[in-house]
Amino acid sequence: MCLSEVYPGRDDAVLTCPVCLDDATHEALVSPCSCRGSSANIHVSCLKQWHASLGYPSEPSCPTCKQCYFGDVAVELLRINLKVIEADAAGEENVSVAVALNNLAAVLEDQGKYDEAMPLCERSLKILESVLGPSHPDVATALNNFAELLTDMRRLDEAEPLHWRALSIREEALGPDHPDVASSLNNVAALLEEKGEFERALPVYERSLAIREKVFGKSHTAVATTLNNMALLLKKRGEFDRARSLYERDLSISEQVLGPDHPDVATSLNNLGSLLKQQEKYTEAEPLFLRALTVMEKVLGEEHPRVASALCNLGKLNSVQGNLNGAQTYFERSLAIRESVMVPDHPDILSVRSLSADNLAALSDSDSIPVC
């Protein structure tokens, strides 16, 4: 798929590239970040030149909105990075090559291109083990990244030993109360939760939380992350009151530290809203979902994958409330965004497509019911 299909510029006839000031007559304009107005669209060729002029930064991001580029634009820039770094290495497998491989694998994973990401993760890990030794903290990071990819692929039994090995490396190299140990504990707990092993997961989360509160204090975003994860686990166990308390504390910390218009605040709003929806407290959930969508659109742009998730949440809420037309609008917009930045068989696309189809069927049934 070409980039012009993935990120079509809006009303290309009047938009121009901020670099060359040309329009879309000879090359399509793309919108790979959250910018709006005159900075919202750019030619890929101009973006590549600008990227090269900066020395091929490892995390390509927009200089205006500061957001990392996503989708096929990010993949293309990171492929260039890898090619340049490999050329500089002249056949030597070094840490810089491993980092470039990992960065490219991460954006491919976000798109659901797991088969492309897998060999990159494997090669990155192999290089780091060879260059740094099997017990280096950077090897632990590579193990975590590889495990996350396997988790996304639902290969949970393969992912678990990688997370445990990463935890062991960090405990040995950094000490039992290091923040990176807390991160590994969080990863282990999340995997156990994903496997449905809630009783094993909860004490691991609790240890992660204790370390983070000790190191950072009780009002840090890292603490908020663990609170959020623990709340989700409690929600799955049906402990709604405890889950709500943790979600509310997570939201309070995030708003206090990051401000009201941060993407992590929107995530906290969505999570609390989802809990309230599950409890059928729809009137409490709706303003949280709407605010989350507003924040996501404002900060990330209207075509970002996280906006699609917020739209999907609103679609599901409207559907259970009987507002089928409103739900369909949300589902269709969510689907359009996901189809533009993910592979066709990505689970998120299949999920919202199924929701949309079910909602359309319900709409059809409601239209066929005679009015008395």
Instruction: Give pLDDT, residue 135.
Output: 97
Average pLDDT over residues 145-149: 97
**In a domain? residue 78:** yes
Q: In the 8-state DSSP scheme, what is residue 27?
A: S
Q: Are 75 and 45 in contact (CB under 8 A)?
A: no
The mean pLDDT of 203-225, rounded to a whole number, is: 97
Residue 80 within any structural domain of the chain: yes
Give me the percent of the chain exceeding a pLDDT of 70: 93
Question: What digits encode the pLDDT tens for the residues 149-196?
Answer: 999 999 999 999 999 999 999 999 999 999 999 999 999 999 999 999
Measuring CA to CA, how many Å separate 125 from each of 86, 97, 113, 141? 16, 11, 19, 9
Pick the residue with more confidence: 45 or 180? 180
**Please, which residues bridge with residue 30 across strands?**
42
Considering the chain, what is the average pLDDT of its residues?
89
The pLDDT assigned to 95 comes to 94
**Long-range pairs of 276-283 with CB within 8 A, sequence gap ≥ 24:** 276/244, 277/313, 277/316, 277/317, 277/320, 278/235, 278/240, 279/240, 282/317, 282/320, 282/321
Number of H helices, E strands in the chain: 16, 2
Yes or no: say if 59 and 47 are a contact pair by the CB < 8 Å rule: no
Domain membership of residue 31 as a residue range: 1-89
The position carrying tokens 């075509």 is 303
50 pLDDT higher than 80? no
- Dmax over CA atoms of the chain, in Å, equals 79
Identify which has the larger pLDDT, 202 or 29: 202
The token duo for 343 is: 């592979």
Tell me the pTM: 0.78
The token duo for 248 is: 């509310």
Cα separation of 89 and 289, whole Å? 48
Rounded to an integer, the average pLDDT of 228-255 is 97
Q: Is residue 39 part of a domain?
A: yes
In a domain, 232, yes or no: no
Q: Which pLDDT score, from 0 to 100, does residue 59 have?
A: 78
pLDDT band for position 3 (50/70/90)? very low
159 CB neighbour count, 10 Å cutoff: 24
Which residues neighbour 50 within 8 Å (Cβ) at sequence distance 6 or greater? 19
pLDDT confidence band for 5 (50 / 70 / 90): very low
In this model, does residue 310 exceed pLDDT 80? yes
CA distance 317 to 281: 10
How far are the Cα atoms of 108, 147, 339 from residue 345, in angstroms, in the given order? 14, 21, 9
- Asked if the structure places residue 58 within a domain, the reply is yes
* pLDDT over 70 at 14, yes or no: no
Listed residue (151, 247, 162, 243) closest to 194, CA to CA: 151
How many separate domains does the chain show?
1
361 pLDDT tier (thresholds 50, 70, 90): very high
- Give me the helix-helix angle, 240-258 and 221-236, nearest 10°: 160
Given this model, what pLDDT does residue 39 score? 63
State pLDDT tens for residues 263-294.
999 999 999 999 999 999 999 999 999 999 99
Q: Closest Cα partner for 68 from 249, 301, 369, 302?
A: 301
Q: Over range 41-69, report the average pLDDT.
A: 77
253, 223 Cβ separation under 8 angstroms: yes
Q: Which two tokens stand for residue 342?
A: 């993910």
In angstroms, the CA 63 to CA 221 distance is 25
Side-chain-side CA neighbours of 16 within 13 Å: the count stands at 5
CATH number (domain holding residue 52)? 3.30.40.10
pLDDT at residue 208, as a whole number: 97
Residue pLDDT, tens place only, 74-131:
888 889 989 999 898 888 889 999 999 999 999 999 889 999 999 999 999 999 999 9
Q: On the CB side of 318, how many CA atoms lie within 13 Å of its CA? A: 22
147 within some domain = no
Higher-confidence residue: 299 or 210?
210
**Would the pLDDT of 371 be above 70?**
no
Is residue 299 one of the residues assigned to a domain?
no
Is residue 122 a part of any domain in this protein? Answer: no
Structure-block tokens of residue 290: 């709407």
pLDDT at position 329 is: 96
- DSSP, residue by residue, 293-347: HHHHHHHH-TT-HHHHHHHHHHHHHHHHTT-HHHHHHHHHHHHHHHHHHS-TT-H
CB-based contact 247:271 (threshold 8 Å): yes
Q: Say whether 29 sits in a helix, a strand or coil.
A: strand
Name residues whose C-beta falls within 8 Å of residue 157's C-beta, 6 or more positions apart in sequence: none
